[in-house]
Chain A
Amino acid sequence: MNVPIIDPLQGDFPEVIEEYLQHGNMKCIAFNRRGTLLAAGCADGSCVIWDFETRGVAKELRDKDCIAPITSVCWSKYGHHILASATDKSLTLWNVVNGEKMARVTLQQTTLHARLHPGSSTPSVCLACPLSSAPILVDLNTGSSTVLPVSVSDAGNGTTAPHPRNKFSDGSPPFTPTAATFNKYGDLIYVGNSKGEILIVDSKNIRVHAIIPISGGSVVKDIVFSRSGQYLLTNSNDRVIRVYENLLPQKFAANELEAMSSNDHEFQGIEKLKVDGSKCLLLFREFQDAVTKIQWKAPCFSGDGEWVIGASASKGEHKLYIWDRAGYLVKILEGPKEALIDLAWHPVRPLVVSVSVAGLVYIWAKDYTENWSAFAPDFKELEENEEYVEREDEFDLMPESEKAKDLDINQDEEVDIVTMEKDSAFSDSEASQEELCFLPAIPLPDVPEQDKCLGSSSKLEDSNHSGSPFSIEAAQDGQAILPASSPLEVVGNSTAEEAVETSSLKRKRKPSVKGMELQAEKGRKPSTKIKPSGKSSKSKNKHGDGLDTNGSVLEDDVTDDYL
């Protein structure tokens, strides 16, 4: 929504880990179109849907047939369906609202990446990229599949022999991973093959319309569009991420491409395809780490396409590199020492979510500094010094003109209290269909409980945990909270409503006013495992008494904390 006073600098990038989510062992993640829900595929075959606003579990998609670890999840355009691919070679289509399995198809190989056709609201066609062979278009209703061509030779066959240069450095036998993605409306498929070429294939008639060779010719591991469809990035085995500008229009791109190629009579065969290709994609930038030559993993764009983020594929480190579109590396985010397996940028907010090999999902966000000028109603924040020129009568004892003017608000102006504006952040909300932005929150009945001591296993089904940030600045105890200790803290939150106190303190990011309050809460909960050192709760033990008396006692305490 266009709320005018929310900081317009939304299009920025995250800086620190804000919190983490834990529920089972999560392997892959995907945001829905608006970023209100986060789907995560788990190692036990279920999918967890997180409500991103409350950071709690909204739904779990479980089925007795689906028990193999999930390799990828994908939302349908309006958020009603989720496609999950698993290591037992299956693809499962779920209905999000009622949590039921709608369709299940078993293929020849395990799919690494599955994508639903983005153009329709009830998609039945999906693109599956298996581990070691050509991508397939699968019809989920009939189960039929069409193999996409991964290379074009003059002989016209669709298979490809592995290029000797593309053997992986650890000596494992070369296979031919191919990456593929739909364009924004799904009429074209962009395939990156193991020879280092991008093929543009029509998704209806499976014809190759164009080829764009990538310099260096190494295996394409990932190929991703930005949300607007304006930019495309490829991640190649030569450790370079390349960003291309998409020259085709967003809508009806296939028609445009066909028209372009049928008009072009100069060239034939592969030459023609390459010429057409040069009219579709234009190389914009290349990103690499020249010093350490890292292999990249899971690169993607920010929601507005301004930033590119890629993770280091080196084991044992959790590093995210952020570049701006001009090519400058702006930030390296470093997380706990666990390898990263998946990454996603929030569609709207400057938030990044990363999955570590330990099955935890980390949320990276901006470090919030309080906007102090918000506290004074007529304060205006300046970017730089402004020269103030005083009025002629400024220091007169009785300035004539200016005094009365401020109160002269036009009170006769018509005020419109009912018209609402369209949301401009989502350009194609011509929403012919209802978009699913959130799942109805049904309050779980209270467990008639006794003591909130931890260790008592939670009776509630989805005892979700969210934990504290790892960054040093949020250290409540004055010491860095190491990953090793976090599971301990998480256990402390297992009982849902008594976790009211302790989990609220986990979310505090700044040890300022909020930090004081959570010290107070800790003081109130002697049973908590995370015993803060006596120093922090000493002064605030008054709050413990404050609980039983009324507001007046509290007031004195609270005012001390301010600013």
Chain B
Amino acid sequence: MAGGGGGSSAPSSTAPPPPYRPYRLARTLPAHTRAVSCVKFSNDGRLLASASLDKTVMVWSSSSLSLLATLAGHSEGVSDVAWSSDSHYVCSASDDRTVRIWDVRSPAGECVKVLRGHSSFVFCVNFNPQSNLIVSGSFDETIRLWDVKTGRCVRTIEAHDDPVTSVHFNRDGSIIVSGSHDGSCKIWDAAKGTCLKVLIDDKTPAVSFAKFSPNGKFILVATLDDTLKLWNYSTGKFLKIYTGHVNRTYCITSTFSVTNGKYIVSGSEDNCVYLWDLQSKNMVQKLEGHTDTVISVSCHPAENKIASAGLDNDRTVRIWIQDTA
């Protein structure tokens, strides 16, 4: 679909923005034996991690797409995975109520630490930019902050009234955004654990995903009514709405693509990956190929590459790249 996208924040320039170059499927990785729950590129772009309900996390080279390591150790399925800033460590959140930290440089894919404390499935996890803390959200409705070095739970926040679906630090690690099935999206002070703001407080629809923009000023929130909204959290108002995809049941992750123009990328329950132009909110492309809900997407930090993961009927990780002109 040739869209009028590609618009970065260029003021009314005389030249029209370059036409949008569509992404195409580059590779399908028959990754796991059960549904894939999450894919993430590392911060340096060299590696790709994929987590699955088959209880493992797989680490791939993002350039050759060969499998480098399989991190096994969880006793239940893994729901989320996150990279440390130096791309040396990966942490994974699992239904076995633990968070595990893995060293990806060790050849055997060794689990360095197990963080215990949650009383129910751990659903989402993230490192802070300094990578000395890990935040995790769980079905036990709490958010926990862990000290990476010792594994100690530094703080527990009674955050929500329903499972916490998403947690994310902002650019300097001072605040955390959390979304939950109880329909609220809250912002917490990372140092004190106090609630700074409640962004959304309607009972429905459930907030399935929340994430800060790269500059930490905006929050992208996905709700289970087929909607993605971009909020300015200081004013408490949303600025953009993105629709067209299907999102009623699953906590589908979405992300920003900033390597070649600004886009919002998200998975969808109609088995496609959607791309919208950030400013104009037009859907610029629909990537088809998966045979089940696309539950997670991740953009490479430097190249125009997107990775997507499919649920049980599909079980693959697909890599999409943009053709160079």
Contacts and interface: CB of A to CB of B under 8 A. Distances in A.
Q: Do A and B bind each other?
A: yes
A244 interface: no
Interface in A423-463: 437-446, 460
Interface in B121-139: 121, 130-133, 139
A415 B278 contact: yes
Per DSSP, chain A at the interface is loop
Contacts, number: 208
Contacts of A555: 141, 161-162
B199 interface: yes
B63 to A, nearest CB: 25
Interface stretch (B231-239, B243-251, B314-322): B231-239
Contacts of B113: 443-446, 497
Contacts of B174: 1, 3, 6
A553 to B, nearest CB: 10
A446 B201 contact: no
B310 interface: no
B61 interface: no
Contacts of B172: 1, 3
Contact of B216 (A36, A411, A420, A437): A420
A513 interface: yes
A497 B195 contact: no
A443 B215 contact: no
A55 interface: yes
A414 B86 contact: no
B310 to A, nearest CB: 26
Contacts of A418: 213-215, 258, 262
B120 A440 contact: no
A411 B171 contact: no
A499 B152 contact: yes
A142 interface: no
A446 B197 contact: no
A370 B147 CA distance: 24
Contacts of B281: 411
A517 interface: yes
A417 B256 contact: yes
A9 interface: no
Contact of B149 (A413, A441, A561): A441
B151 A415 contact: no
Contacts of A438: 130, 132
A514 B240 contact: no
B219 to A, nearest CB: 10
Interface string A371-405: 10011111000000000000000000000000000
Interface string B165-196: 00000111111000000000001011110111
B163 A551 contact: yes
A460 B150 contact: yes
Nearest to A413: B239
A418 B218 CA distance: 10
Interface in B69-125: 86, 89, 101, 103, 111-117, 119-121
Interface stretch (A259-267, A308-316, A500-508): A500-508
A438 B230 CA distance: 31
A483 to B, nearest CB: 23
Contacts of A446: 111-114, 151
Contacts of A499: 152
Contacts of B256: 417
B241 interface: yes
A171 interface: no
Contacts of B237: 409
Given A5-B196, A445-B113, A496 B150 contact: yes
A274 B319 CA distance: 75
3 closest Cβ contacts across the A-B interface?
Answer: A441-B132, A417-B213, A4-B234
22 contacts: A1-B171, A3-B175, A5-B196, A6-B196, A36-B130, A54-B133, A56-B147, A56-B150, A371-B195, A415-B218, A415-B240, A417-B215, A418-B262, A420-B171, A441-B131, A441-B148, A444-B150, A446-B112, A550-B121, A551-B120, A554-B140, A558-B161
